[in-house]
Each structure stands twice: as C-alpha cells, then as structure tokens.
Structure 1
Amino acid sequence: MRFIHTADWHLGKLFGQRHMTEDQAYVLDELLALCADVRPDALVIAGDVYDRAIPPPEAVALFSETLAKLAARNIKALFIAGNHDSAVRLGFGAELLRASGVYPAGTVRAAQPPVVLSDAYGDVYFSLIPYGDPPHVKEAFALESMPSFDAALGVQIAAARAQIPAGARSVAVAHAFVVGGQPSESEHALSVGGSDQVRTENFAAYNYTALGHLHAPQRAGAEHIRYSGSLLKYSFDEARQKKGVELVDIDGAGAVSHAFYPLAPRHDVRIVSGLMTELLSEGFDPLPHDDYICAELLDSDAVLAAHEKLRQIYPNLFSITRPNINMGRLSSNERTYERGQSDFRLFADFFADVTKEEMSPEEERALSRVIDDLEREERAE
C-alpha cells in the first residue's frame, strides 16, 4: 500500500494581509504532479484542510477542484477535521463522496468505521480520528466526567481499534499535539499550559500514524509516528523549515518505509538580515526578491523611511525587526512585526503594550477559556 501523508493545508489562510489561495493552488499543482509520478493509492490529509470554520468561497473551490483531480486519477482521498475546521461542514456529503473514493471524517462519533483499502496483500485499515476536544469527546461517547486531551484521544483510539481485526495492517490519521513535538508560531494552541498534549503510546498499535497540527515535519516519538508538516510556511519562524509531504509504503508484512518529498512554493518565506546599507547594496541577496520577506535590520541607530527603502528591493516586504535598537525610539510603522502568532499571544502582547504589565496566570486562564469557547462555537457552526 502506498499513500501520501500531508496535513495543515489551511486553505483560505491570510498571512499578514495577503490571501494565500494562489500560493496554495500553485503548490497543490505540484502535489498533483507528484501524485502522477509516484502513483499512490491514496492521499491522506491529517486535518486543518481550511484555516477557519467558515472558509472563503475560493478556498472551498480550490479544495473541490483538487479532490476532483485526485478522483480522476483514481487516487483515494482521506481527510479528517482539524482544530481549524468546522467538523460539520467538512463532513458534509460524506456518504455521497465515498462513492467517488473521497472519505471525510468531520464530527467526532463513537462508532466511526475505518476506511478499508486493499492491495495485492489484502486489506489496510485506516482509522480516521477527527480532532476532538474533551467536551466533544465526552458528549459523543457519553462519558460521565470530562476527560483530559490524552484520555479523550485514548477513548477515540480504543473505539477505532475495536473495529480492526487482530493482525491486520492499520494506519491512524489524527490531529493532535504529541508530547515532545516542536511547535510553530502559526499554530493555534489547543489549550494553555501543556494540557493539550497527548502521549505517543496512544498510537503504538498502528503500523503508521499520519499526524497533523504541528507545522514542522518531524517524527513524534517513533519513526512510524510522524507529522508531515504544513503545506506552506505560514509564519517567519518557519522560514528555515522544509515543506513537503511524506510518501509512505507498507509491505505485505506491515513493515513501513517513508520518504519526504519537498514542494517548492511560488514565493518562499525568508528572513534577511543586515545593516540597511548592506540590504540596499546590489548583489547582497542572491535569492528571489519577490519572496515574502521579514527584514532584520541590524542598525543601532534609527533609519528614516526604512519600509519605503526596503520595498524598492523587496516588493513583498511583510515586516521589519530591529534587534539592536530601543523599541521606544522607533515610530509605530517601524515597530510593525507580523509573526503569524496565535490569537492568545497576539492579545497578550497587546495587553502588555497597553498596560505595560504582563498578564497574570489568572488572566491568561480566563483569556484561554474565552478563545477556546469562541473556537468551539466556530467549529460547531
């Protein structure tokens, strides 16, 4: 069995003030070309298909077109809801889509049947485990008490494993923050204080686990439990990450091999660093100047019209950072720094800027509850 593991497409993403749909369409064309080359049996998307619960129409159209192109190539498409997706919307028309080889899993259900695909050696069982925060899992499984994130995932996996024959080859598809994973700034925290993290042991029974949520490609405690990473770079702290997909092969005995295939973006996301005179000098930066740029300006003195000067070199300049200067001496324009941070961190930074004080632990917990409630309402719409 051969399949491509991908995740965190975030279709409809707004990076800075720029809609990323054209960039996403560009890289999805690359992904479809890769599919034509390696001929997988399936494409597996481990959550966060969209960037928000109500995506813009062009994002929905792009996903629909991509699914149609996969179906035309006889490639099955399996995908789950992530914490950014509306579970109800993503699961719409599931029964009809299955007839075309498209298998969505949106809402958390107590009896979510596996998707069974076959190869020359027999069946492979795919457990599609959509993102479920503790309240949704408690309701779906009629639990008496509120579980932790780890316990909630354990309940979902136990129900999934009960539907897989002993000894059968199996793949888990989940959207979660596994203990020890390396996060990025563009991810929305599932909760505050580490309570959202789950143990890698939850996935021990599967031959391979395709994870989503963390944007950096990485293993999650074991070589066969992996994050593919996001489709594109969505914050400047991801500038040095490689983006792509995992090509996974499972042989008749259940042994797994995998290889990372990078995807080249339409515009890279980069940080360029230097003095203003260096950044403006010809030949200083040999890479494409139409990339999405954060300029790290190393001058210790104030620089007049820094944005205007740098935009003559970098038309897609997103932000400027000034690590060597007192921030109080800069204009508001020069202090601008869009880092793709979480809603929690953006508000915390705003609070500190206005009040000149950091939020207390009690205020952080209250803010976290408000954000969690708002995101839960979005997903339920």
Structure 2
Amino acid sequence: MRLLHTSDWHVGRTFHGRDLLVEQESVLGGLADLVSDERVDVVVVAGDLFDRAVPNAEAVAVCTRVLERIRAAGARVVVTPGNHDSAARLGLFGGFAAAGGLHLRTRIADLAEPVLVPDADGPVAVYGIPYLEPETARHALGVAERGHAAVLTEAVRRVRADVAARGTRSVVLAHAFVTGGEPCDSERTIAVGGVQDVPGGVFDGFDYVALGHLHGQQTLAEHLRYSGSPVAYSFSEARHVKSVWLVELGPEGLAGAERRLLPVPRALSTLGGRLDDLLLDPDHTPVEQHFLSVVLTDRVRPLDALRRLQVRFPHAVHVEWRPEGGRTGELRFGDRVRGRDDEEIACCFVEDVRGEPPAERELALLRAAIAAAAREGDG
C-alpha cells in the first residue's frame, strides 16, 4: 500500500496580507498528479486543512476542487482537524463524505475507529486523532491530569488497544508538537501552562505516524515524521524545501518513506541595505519576483519605503528599519524623559522614530502644539 503524508494545508491563509489561494490551489492540485504517477492508495492530511475555524467561501471552493482532483486520481483521503480548524464544522456530513472516499475523522469519541483500507496483504487501519485541546479533551477522555501529553497518551492508548484487537497494520494521524521537532514562526503556539511537547515514545508500536503542526518536514524516527506545510507561510521558512512523504507499507509494516518535492509558486527572499542602493543594484534582479522581506539601514527612515520598493519588487511585503549605527540597547521610558522638558521629549521622540532631529519648521510646530496644550491645561 502507498500512502501520501501531507499536513497543514492552511487553505485560505494570507502571506503578509497577500492572498495565496492561487498558489495553494496550484501546489495542492498537483498532489493529484503524484497520486496518479506513484499509484498512491491513500492521501492523509494531518490537521489544519483550513487556516481558520470558519473559512470563507473562496477557501472552501479551492479545497473542494483539490480534494475532488485527488479522488478522481484514485486515492482515498483521510483528514483530521488541527488547532486552526473547527472539528465540528470540518466533520459536518462526514458520514456522507465517507461514502465517496473522503474520510473526515473529527470526533474524539471516534478516534479509535479506523478507516480500513484493503490491499493485497490485508487491511490497513488508518486512525485519525483530531487535535486535542487539553482542557476539552481531558473531560471527553476521562483524564485527570492536565496537558497535551496526558490527553494524547490516553488517545493513543485507545488506538493501540484497537490495533491489538484487530491485528492489522496501522497508520496514525496526529496534530501535535512532538519533542525534538523544530518549530518556525508561522505556527500558532499550542502551549498550555508553558508546556506543549509530547514525548515521541507515546507513538511507539505503530507502523507509521503521520504528524502535523510543524511546518518544516522532519524525521523524528523512521516511523514518526512531519510532512510540513506544502507552502511557506513565513520568512522563517525561506530555506525549507517543501515536500510530502510517500510511504510504502509492506506485508510486515513500514517498508520505507521517500520525499517527493513540491513546486514553489513564489520563492521567499530577504534583502538588507539602503533604500536607494536596493532600488538600483543589478545584483538584486534575480529576486525581483520573489516575496521579499527587507531590512533598511538608512540613517534616516525613508518615507513611503514599501511603496517605493514595490516599484521594482512588486512582491515586497515586509519592511523593517534598522539604521546603521543605531542603538543596541533601550532605556526605560522613565530614564529617557527624566530631567527633560516637553520640547526636549518631543524632539527626542521625532529623532528616535525618524533617525534625525526635527527641522526648524517642524520644531516651530512642536512648540506651538506644546504651548497650546499648556494653555488648555491652565484653563
């Protein structure tokens, strides 16, 4: 049996305000070609199919078209919700969807009931553990202890008992932060009381565990892997090589897992330097069509910097100003204003924000404003 492990589609997510639906449909729709070319039997999505609990109509339409293409290519699809999804909404009409080969495993009560997928060596039991919010899940699972590890341990115990009773090969989907995984900036924290890790040993004994939540592809053990997100959602993912796992199950269990690279609809890059240099330097031609994060080092904050950058780099989406020779530390507010009059405080603020002191005309305006405020206070 061949299984394609994906997760964290986040359909409907934006990138620094830019809509990504076209890029997402391009990449995700290509999974159907992988299904055909690699003779994939099952595609799994280990959480966060959508980016929000109530996705808009356009995101739902994109997701529907992608899932229809995958089904038409011949694979069953098993989906579990993540911490971004709404389990209740995602599972709506799940019973009807299963008849068409789309299995939505969203209910805690059903987590030990697998999707049974037959092959020449007998059935494979595919279990979908939805994202378990600790406070909600511990009551549903009858767990006294708080935290992610406690509720997931109980959920896996129930799954393991069902696997033992059936004697089948097993695949488990779970959306969690497993100890040893490397996070990036685009994941929403799932920490409870400062703790979000779940020990990898919780998942011992299964043929394959398809993890979701972390956006970089990772191998924690031969049977325990993150597929990562199919599209980059932060500049911290600029060096990620987006891909999915093609997993092979033989008669005795896991026979191997191989990466299959995904296309990059628009690369991510970062630039730094003075604004005028960035706009003129021919060395930056290769990144003109990339999503760009730019750090400006001008001594004075440039006006309307993002709009000016977008003349050359239309997909520049993020700008920071870090002036050359700027302060390396910050004083407390009280220390900054102690012993200074209103005019000095106002002028220092302008200089801090812009990188140069106010001009004479601006200084006159500041003095007039301070005087007017003083007269109003006296009145």
**Alignment TM class, shorter chain as reference:** 0.7 to 0.9
Partners of 2:91 and 2:127 lie apart in 1 by: 15
Q: Which residue of 2 aligns with 1:243?
A: 242
Q: Which residue of 1 aligns with 2:376?
A: none
**What's the offset of the Cα at 1:302?**
4.0
- Contact preservation (8 Å) 1:110, 1:141: no
Structure 2 residue 11 is the aligned partner of structure 1 residue 26 = no
One-letter amino acid of the counterpart of residue 317, structure 1: A
Q: Which residue of 2 aligns with 1:259?
A: 258
One-letter amino acid of the counterpart of residue 226, structure 1: R
Structure 2 residue 321 is the aligned partner of structure 1 residue 322 = yes
- Contact preservation (8 Å) 1:110, 1:156: no
- Contact preservation (8 Å) 2:208, 2:224: yes
Give per-residue Cα distances to partners, 1:98-125, cap 9 Å, x unaligned: 1111111113226640111121111211
**What's the offset of the Cα at 1:133?**
1.4
Partners of 1:111 and 1:175 lie apart in 2 by: 13
Give per-residue Cα distances to partners, 1:312-340, cap 9 Å, x unaligned: 211111111234443874459xxxxxxxx
For residues 116-155 of structure 1, what are the structure 2 equivalents within 5 Å? Answer: 116-143=116-143, 145-155=144-154
Q: Secondary structure at the match of 1:255?
A: strand
Structure 2 residue 198 is the aligned partner of structure 1 residue 198 = yes
Q: Secondary structure at the match of 2:69?
A: helix
Q: How many residues align?
A: 330
**What's the offset of the Cα at 1:146?**
4.2
Structure 2 residue 70 is the aligned partner of structure 1 residue 70 = yes
One-letter amino acid of the counterpart of residue 249, structure 2: I
**What's the offset of the Cα at 1:187?**
0.8
One-letter amino acid of the counterpart of residue 249, structure 1: E
One-letter amino acid of the counterpart of residue 158, structure 1: R
Q: Which residue of 2 aligns with 1:180?
A: 180
Q: Which residue of 2 aligns with 1:211?
A: 211
Partners of 1:110 and 1:33 lie apart in 2 by: 31
Q: Secondary structure at the match of 1:109?
A: helix
**Residue range with higher mean Cα deviation, 95-104 or 303-312:** 303-312
Q: TM-score, normalised by structure 2?
A: 0.81
Q: Which residue of 2 aligns with 1:348?
A: none
**What's the offset of the Cα at 1:46?**
0.3
Q: Which residue of 1 aligns with 2:368?
A: none
Q: 1:135 to 1:291 in 2, by over 3 A?
A: same
Give per-residue Cα distances to partners, 1:135-160, cap 9 Å, x unaligned: 222232234x2432101001111111
Q: Which residue of 1 aligns with 2:296?
A: 297
Partners of 2:73 and 2:301 lie apart in 1 by: 57
**Residue range with higher mean Cα deviation, 277-286 or 240-249:** 277-286
For residues 1-381 of structure 1, what are the structure 2 equivalents within 5 Å? Answer: 1-109=1-109, 112-143=112-143, 145-165=144-164, 167-191=167-191, 194-220=194-220, 222-300=221-299, 302-325=301-324, 326=326, 329-331=352-354
- Contact preservation (8 Å) 2:141, 2:151: no
One-letter amino acid of the counterpart of residue 97, structure 1: A
Q: 1:272 to 1:35 in 2, by over 3 A?
A: farther
**What's the offset of the Cα at 1:81?**
0.6
Q: 1:282 to 1:256 in 2, by over 3 A?
A: same
Gaps of 5+ in 2: 328-350, 356-379
**Residue range with higher mean Cα deviation, 108-117 or 93-102:** 108-117
Q: Secondary structure at the match of 1:164?
A: helix
Q: 1:106 to 1:71 in 2, by over 3 A?
A: same
Whose radius of gyration is greater, 1 or 2?
Answer: 2
- Contact preservation (8 Å) 1:15, 1:235: yes
Partners of 1:180 and 1:194 lie apart in 2 by: 16
One-letter amino acid of the counterpart of residue 238, structure 1: E
One-letter amino acid of the counterpart of residue 189, structure 1: T
Partners of 2:182 and 2:169 lie apart in 1 by: 29
Gaps of 5+ in 1: 333-381
- Contact preservation (8 Å) 2:243, 2:259: yes
One-letter amino acid of the counterpart of residue 12, structure 1: G
**What's the offset of the Cα at 1:277?**
4.5
Q: Secondary structure at the match of 2:174?
A: strand
Q: 1:305 to 1:36 in 2, by over 3 A?
A: same
**What's the offset of the Cα at 1:298?**
4.0
Query: Which consecutive aligned stretches of 4+ in structure 1 deviate over 6 angstroms post-superposition?
Result: none
**What's the offset of the Cα at 1:280?**
2.2
**Residue range with higher mean Cα deviation, 43-52 or 312-321:** 312-321
Q: CA RMSD in A?
A: 2.1
- Contact preservation (8 Å) 1:177, 1:196: yes
Q: Which has the higher helix share?
A: 2
The sequence identity of aligned pairs, in percent, is 35
Partners of 1:208 and 1:111 lie apart in 2 by: 16
Partners of 2:33 and 2:274 lie apart in 1 by: 41
User: Does 1 or 2 have the higher relative contact order (CA < 8 Å, sep 6+)?
Assistant: 1
Q: 1:278 to 1:175 in 2, by over 3 A?
A: same
One-letter amino acid of the counterpart of residue 142, structure 1: G
Q: TM-score, normalised by structure 1?
A: 0.81
